[in-house]
Structure 1
Amino acid sequence: MNLAWLHSFRRVAETQSFSRAADSLFLTQPAVSQHVRQLERFFGHKLLTQTGRQLQLTDAGRKVYELACRLERDIADVREGLEHLESQARGLVTIASPPTPLALYLPRVLRHFWAVYPGVSVRTLSRVRDQVTTAVAHGVADIGLQTAPFLHPALVTRLLLKDRLVAVCAPTHPLAAQRAVAPETLRRVKVAQLPPGAESRTLVDDWFAARGVHLDDRLELSSLEEIRAAALHNLAVGFLSEGYVRADLAGGRLARLDLAGFDLVRWLYAIHRPDIGPVASDFVAVMTRLAAGIGPRSA
């Protein structure tokens, strides 16, 4: 059955005339008559009867007329809903995060999200941990990625995954083959780190400080990729997310330094306001679904 047949039939029923229906539809009268005949053949019933100069609906015709009206209403509702979805899909989602979650986690989320919302722009804001909560709470960002559950009365917090920091170096580094390397050994070793204020640097510095060790020989770099490159080229020991260097460790391009007692774990959380729009909500849903595939949720 063709929807055009129903549309023509409805206009004939409402105007009680093939010619007036044809004029309103910008069709020829024979075309409208053909639509009605095809509809009658489809249902196997006479739908119209001639009474004088006027056309009247048969009992079967009234049922088909009700069907035509209902279908056109439903189609109009669906079109309106799709237009609304399309308007939502042409938006912007802003994500605030420290550097590690942006580099480790976000690319895979974006691939899946853009498969559904190709027209949505995504903007990232690189922020230190304390600034992420502020950006989301004040509406500067729709979603924040946090490595600590900064509880805020106006924000929703969702646990995503576990992130472990590891010490890495080139396989040819003098410490690569050693077992249970003492923390104080790294006083005499060049260590690549992010600038002060970066969360991973703060965690590492605090861990060494608790053991009475100050890292004297630092190579201060501006990105995780620069730290990875420094380790790959045997320029320094680096402290990076295990997920960020998993492929390098598996492929033998980097070695995991056996640093005695070193076990720093962070949990990654998504935070957002309760009233974020449907597109941002879907972004959070994609993150939640993918979390288990990117890293373990438990030890």
Structure 2
Amino acid sequence: MARANIRQIEAFNAVMQAGSVTQAADALFISQPAVTKLVQAFEKSCGFKLFQRSQGRLVPTPEARRLFAETYTFMTGVSRIENTALAIKNSQQGDLTVVAFPALSMRLMPWCAARYLSDKPDVRFSVLTRNSNDVPNSMISHAADFGLSLLPTRESTIVCQPFRRIFMVCALPSGHPLTEEVAITPHQLEREEIVCLGRDDQSRMVVEEAFARFGIKVGGRYEVQMADAACMLVAEGAGIAIVPSIASVGWEGHEGIVFRPLSVPVTMDVWLYTPTWDQPPALARMFLQEIDAGISEVEARLMKDAGDAPQFSAAGLA
């Protein structure tokens, strides 16, 4: 006995629901002979009569009615599969898990996720916050679709490639004299109380190396582990902090803190981790584009606030 195919079952269902071959053909956008042929093939595969003619009409047999209860459920399941496949293809459904260093995962990434997923109610999103040194572990354990770190890795199971470059900015207490400047020079910070990030933080190392070229030592009585904590201390008037540009997200309009670029661009490279065994799903790839656009938006706003200072052209920060 030949096995029935989905097209035959679809034709049988259409006739059962429409009550005639003519209306079934219209519903399926095919010819009446094509419907008849499909139904006959399905009937043959079943091994029993499905319809009888009575006064010029097709009348389902009792066996056909019992069978229809199953084929209707089957085709409903097929429709769900097709809809799910389309939703996945269009990045409207699925799970998205990412891992990133704190300055990115605490503020900018949730901000980007809220915008990206606003029209995707069937997407479940998770973000893991890890120090850059620990991001590879999350990728090795298959805990995330992709990772973003301030450090490259040579792990054999991870494809590591440059993602983009971000620059450091100066966080100042509102009312501080330096808020009148469009860009802050290293020498203007020489006698200021600097709120520092931890010594194992990559951004701390970048800032120290940059300021050392001007003979300036970065340090103060406050040391915190995350840029967000540094910004809170600044907002409370405890000092000035040098933080990644992305740490400014969410502080816009806050009465206690103002962000200004540095006159000498100090930048950090962000590295993208993906698994060697497979590329990230379309949902993840599109979210990466959203993150990249979000960073560009934040930095463009900071440069605009800096006025027309020539050293802060987009090309100079690339």
Alignment TM-score > 0.5, same fold: yes
Q: Is the 8 A contact 1:9 1:65 kept in 2?
A: no
- Corresponding position: 1:271 with 2:273: yes
**Higher alpha-carbon Rg:** 1
Amino-acid identity (%): 15
- CA distance in 2 between counterparts of 1:146 and 1:199 reads 10
RMSD: 4.4
- CA distance in 2 between counterparts of 1:65 and 1:121 reads 48
Map of 1:126 onto structure 2: 130
- CA distance in 1 between counterparts of 2:113 and 2:170 reads 28
Structure 2 letter corresponding to 1:267:
D
Task: Give the direction of change, closer, same or farther, for the CA distance of 1:181–1:64 in structure 2 (3 Å limit).
Answer: closer
The one-character-per-residue Cα deviations of 1:205-254 (angstroms, maximum 9, x if unpaired) are 23233444333423123433322222233321011222432775788864
- Corresponding position: 1:40 with 2:22: yes
| Aligned residue among 164, 167, 171 for 2:167 | 164
Unmatched segments (≥5 aa) in structure 2: 1-8, 43-70, 298-313
SS for the counterpart of 2:237 is coil
1:53-202 to structure 2, matched below 5 A, reads: 62-66=33-37, 77-82=78-83, 93-111=96-114, 112-113=116-117, 115-116=119-120, 118-127=122-131, 129-150=132-153, 152-157=155-160, 159-177=162-180, 183=186, 186-202=189-205
Structure 1 letter corresponding to 2:15:
F
The one-character-per-residue Cα deviations of 1:122-141 (angstroms, maximum 9, x if unpaired) are 141322x2322343234344
Q: Is the 8 A contact 2:149 2:272 kept in 1?
A: yes
Count, aligned residues: 255
Map of 2:234 onto structure 1: 231
TM-score (norm 1): 0.63
Structure 2 letter corresponding to 1:118:
D
- Corresponding position: 1:287 with 2:258: no
Q: Is the 8 A contact 1:113 1:283 kept in 2?
A: no
TM-score (norm 2): 0.60
Task: Give the direction of change, closer, same or farther, for the CA distance of 1:265–1:9 in structure 2 (3 Å limit).
Answer: same
Map of 1:7 onto structure 2: 13
Task: Give the direction of change, closer, same or farther, for the CA distance of 1:118–1:110 in structure 2 (3 Å limit).
Answer: farther
- CA distance in 1 between counterparts of 2:260 and 2:23 reads 80
Structure 1 letter corresponding to 2:136:
T
Task: Give the direction of change, closer, same or farther, for the CA distance of 1:286–1:65 in structure 2 (3 Å limit).
Answer: farther
- CA distance in 2 between counterparts of 1:198 and 1:113 reads 30
Map of 2:224 onto structure 1: 221
- CA distance in 2 between counterparts of 1:180 and 1:122 reads 36
Q: Is the 8 A contact 1:163 1:268 kept in 2?
A: yes
Structure 2 letter corresponding to 1:40:
T
Task: Give the direction of change, closer, same or farther, for the CA distance of 1:285–1:66 in structure 2 (3 Å limit).
Answer: farther
Unmatched segments (≥5 aa) in structure 1: 11-31, 45-59
- CA distance in 2 between counterparts of 1:277 and 1:265 reads 28
SS for the counterpart of 2:234 is helix
SS for the counterpart of 2:247 is coil
The one-character-per-residue Cα deviations of 1:193-214 (angstroms, maximum 9, x if unpaired) are 2222122122212323344433
Structure 2 letter corresponding to 1:7:
N
Segment of structure 1 superposing worse, 148-157 or 220-229: 148-157
Q: Is the 8 A contact 2:157 2:277 kept in 1?
A: no
- CA distance in 1 between counterparts of 2:86 and 2:222 reads 49
- CA distance in 2 between counterparts of 1:61 and 1:288 reads 49
